Structure 1
Amino acid sequence: MVYALALCSAAFVGIGNAVQQRAAARAPSGAVLHWRLLGYLLRQRLWLTGIATSVVGNLLSGAALGLGSVAEVEPLSVTAVLFAMAVAAVWSRYRVGRREWSGAVAVVAGVIAFLLVGRPGPGQPDAPVWQWVLAAASIGIITATLVSLARRMRPQHEAAVLGFGAGMLFGLQAALTSAAVRRLFDRGLLPMLVDWTPYAVVVIAVVGILLAQSAYKLAPLPISYPPVAAAEPLAGVAIGIGVLDGSLRITPIALVIEFAALAVMTVGVYALAASHLVEAHHRPHHHPHLPHRHPHPK
């Protein structure tokens, strides 16, 4: 039951992100990393449909986590990349080729191997505020650095780096959500609402969505989405260990496999960032801010 819920969750999340990317690619020029990008997307039915689909996936993921453990659910959640790639391959005019599929499989395999070998332990349900502040500040500094570096890169590399930053924020959001839900179950609705965690979740989610949609605007889904999906569980594991006193296997053999898995994931992201699809993504008849002027280009 847990695995079925996790796979269904991954399917909904993957499809939802594929739909979001389709809408974000049509956003006006110059909207990357600007709040007007979200303002534009909030008026698009297609994007709202994608968000609603992803929300269904997140609810299914919550149910899976309620029945099982993070170690069981998170590896399967990364398969959302494959569902998203399948939708992109059918829906998009450009062809998703061997390089893109190989890169996506490498990302998924690397993250799953890391989580299965590392066997991250759940840790404590919550932590002191100062530890959360320290974790949030650390991820905020890393993400801000990634954004600064990304702005100097070519579109496909910028998309991958922004996607990785978004995934880190989503990992922090997931950890805070877990703490908020645990407070809800243990103490009730009112104590959760007067706590700071639900509001931090909202703020972090909005910033993460801005980064993710900016990545989707810059490059096709096979390039922009895998870094998001890969970074989220890795950031969640790091927070679980550093903040919630979780555990990770650190035997010599486990460490070798874990580093190898991260290397495979990195190679997969690099392969996707080097894809030729970004050229197709920015050709005139695919240009995101031209369809309203030339709905039927010759």
Structure 2
Amino acid sequence: MNHSMVIIVTLCATVFFALSTALKHRSASTLPESSAKGRARLGHFVTATLAHRWYLAGLAADAVGLALQALALHIGAVSVVQPLLATALLFSLVLNHAAARTRISRAELGWGALLAASVVAFLVWSGASTAGIHASTADRGAAVAVAILAVVLGTICVIVARKLPSGARAALLGVVVGTIYACTAVLIKAVTSVAARGGLAAVLTSWQLPVLILAGAAGLVLAQVAFRSGPLNASLPAMATLDPLLSVVLGVIVYDEQLRTGLWDTAGEVVSLAALALSAVALSRLTADREEVQAASARG
């Protein structure tokens, strides 16, 4: 595995994902409210979102980012790529301030520095790499993991989220979306493994591809619903935190990616991941609060 290439490709992907996030947030905050209720309201929201110019621009940025992420996951480990993708928060921070022509606050600068340092520390302490297991075993494991998580989270989302107040509902949906993003990363690697073995024909006839498409579509729709269900500072931290943390777990379980297990190495990994989670939550909340103020000002 070429670590330098993995890092470069992943960081390029984060730029496009950050741009996509900024565009989708703008879309969710500017869509008009629907007077419909229940399923009709959700249907109206989905239809309006898919036709909104900012959301379509976000999808275009997503497509480029996804292609780069797929390349990074194919040549690198999930436990390397996904934590690096958390730095998309830093690029989003820069993009948002550049668009609003405002300065980055000291708090944002401090949490951003901690986020970058924690990602670097995790990669150094863990020595994350991909073990040479048989690809078909990993593919089956990925599909099973995603299927179980999709069923469990879908059930939770339908039964619980609709009965919660807006803030709690948005937070729960953020948990669901963050988990789906982690599962999607594992599935992307599974699909690239199929492509490497059998080419495009094997991918088109595989069952991994439709599962990936369904998971990706669910993540896109639920992310917009989460942004719309409550304040961004409720949903965004969960998405930003769970994706890299759960991806590391899935990378180890599904692909047998080897992390160092010595006492000090394990302690360093735990501390760096905890710092990553803390800084991601704090930075995403600051970002969400600022965007809420900007959206309210724009509506006013």
Aligned match for 2:18, one of 14, 18, 24: 14
Tell me: CA distance 1:114–1:151, structure 2 relative to 1, closer, same or farther (3 Å): farther
- Whether 1:171 aligns to 2:185 is no
- Whether 1:91 aligns to 2:99 is yes
Aligned match for 2:85, one of 77, 96, 102: 77
Aligned match for 1:181, one of 168, 171, 192: 192
Instruction: Give the structure with the higher percent helix.
Output: 2
TM-fit CA distance, 1:44: 0.6
Tell me: CA distance 1:94–1:266, structure 2 relative to 1, closer, same or farther (3 Å): same
Q: In 1, Cα distance between the equivalents of 2:288 and 2:223?
A: 18
- Whether 1:265 aligns to 2:273 is no
Which aligned pairs between 1:278-293 and structure 2 lie closer than 5 A?
Answer: 278=289, 281=292, 285-286=296-297, 291=299
1:79-109 Cα distance to aligned partner (Å, 9 max, x none): 2111111112233599864444444544454
Per the normalisation by structure 1, the TM-score is 0.77
For 2:30, the equivalent position in structure 1 comes to 26
1:162-209 Cα distance to aligned partner (Å, 9 max, x none): 334312211111211211121122113233222211000111111111
Q: In 1, Cα distance between the equivalents of 2:186 and 2:294?
A: 40
For 1:60, the equivalent position in structure 2 comes to 68
Q: In 1, Cα distance between the equivalents of 2:44 and 2:73?
A: 35
Aligned match for 1:241, one of 237, 240, 252: 252
TM-fit CA distance, 1:18: 0.9
* 1:160–1:273 contact (8 Å) kept in structure 2: no
For 2:127, the equivalent position in structure 1 comes to 119
- Aligned residue for 1:248, secondary structure, equals coil
Q: In 1, Cα distance between the equivalents of 2:285 and 2:141?
A: 40
* 2:89–2:283 contact (8 Å) kept in structure 1: no
* 2:87–2:115 contact (8 Å) kept in structure 1: no
RMSD (Å) for aligned C-alpha atoms: 3.7
Q: In 1, Cα distance between the equivalents of 2:32 and 2:84?
A: 35
TM-fit CA distance, 1:246: 2.5
Match for 1:16: what amino acid? S
* 1:192–1:198 contact (8 Å) kept in structure 2: yes
For 2:231, the equivalent position in structure 1 comes to 219
Q: In 2, Cα distance between the equivalents of 1:256 and 1:150?
A: 39
Per the normalisation by structure 2, the TM-score is 0.77
Q: In 1, Cα distance between the equivalents of 2:184 and 2:178?
A: 10
For 1:256, the equivalent position in structure 2 comes to 267
- Aligned residue for 2:51, secondary structure, equals coil
* 1:108–1:230 contact (8 Å) kept in structure 2: no
